[in-house]
Amino acid sequence: MNTLGDGQSATDRDVALKRLGGDEKLLSTLAKFFLEDAPGLMTQLHNDVDAQNIDGVLRRAHSLRGLSATFEALPFQQVARELESVVRSMNQELIELKWNQLKAEYERLFAEVQRLAR
């Protein structure tokens, strides 16, 4: 699945809002939590990728997928899942590829979640 540059939104606000019973305030609050927690997790994930810490990568990628699930962030979740899968291979080139894709998806996701936090 090509998640980069395919025109797909980083989130699905309508699905996220429906999941939350239409509660706009709750969506905004959860977006603010994401904006507080996700940057630190991304930094830790980056450190884990650099250190080839498989357990750390798996843990952080899983946590980020969970945080992003609230917003139906399917492109980000897909790449995070792919990173989790390839990290076990210890193929550093493939891990770097997926890490770079994840960073790009994260930037898109972060920007959209900022709009949801208002």
Task: Report whether pLDDT(5) > 80.
Answer: no
Q: What is the pTM of this model?
A: 0.88
d(C-alpha 84, C-alpha 62), whole Å = 8
- For the chain, domains (ranges, CATH) are 13-116 (1.20.120.160)
Asked whether 81 and 3 are in contact (CB, 8 A), the reply is no
19-77: pLDDT as tens digits? 999 999 999 999 999 999 999 999 999 999 999 999 999 999 999 999 999 999 999 99
Asked whether 116 and 13 are in contact (CB, 8 A), the reply is yes
Which pLDDT belongs to residue 88? 87
Task: Report whether pLDDT(10) > 70.
Answer: yes
Residue 78: Cβ-neighbour burial (10 angstroms; 0-12, 13-18, 19+)? middle
